Structure 1
């Protein structure tokens, strides 16, 4: 499954919000430096969807706040 994700780095809380259109808004504590925010995003989504981190791939937007993430739930 693919999800559109809007990332908000440097937040005070870790939070995943589902929007009405099916996209996600994710608040991360990590700064967008050296891929730390992307690592935290993958870890948080893996916990939310109960899949290993290896099943989460950022398809588009590695250096953007708007991302397209693929979640392989078949494992």
Structure 2
């Protein structure tokens, strides 16, 4: 089994770098894509991972925007 840098139930701070084809925010954890429903381009949010697939994960926002550069 391939190691993934995220697991369901884990939380990560993610910078939303692009938008997915369905409007989801897309950020990365160690080059692994995390799709975040309702996150806007340019935001940095804390997400809880809700599911992990073979090449991307889905997460939901659990924290407000952070002031990171």
Task: Normalising by structure 2, report the TM-score.
Answer: 0.35
Q: Report which of the two has the higher share of strand.
A: 2
Q: Report which of the two has the higher share of helix.
A: 1
Task: Normalising by structure 1, report the TM-score.
Answer: 0.33
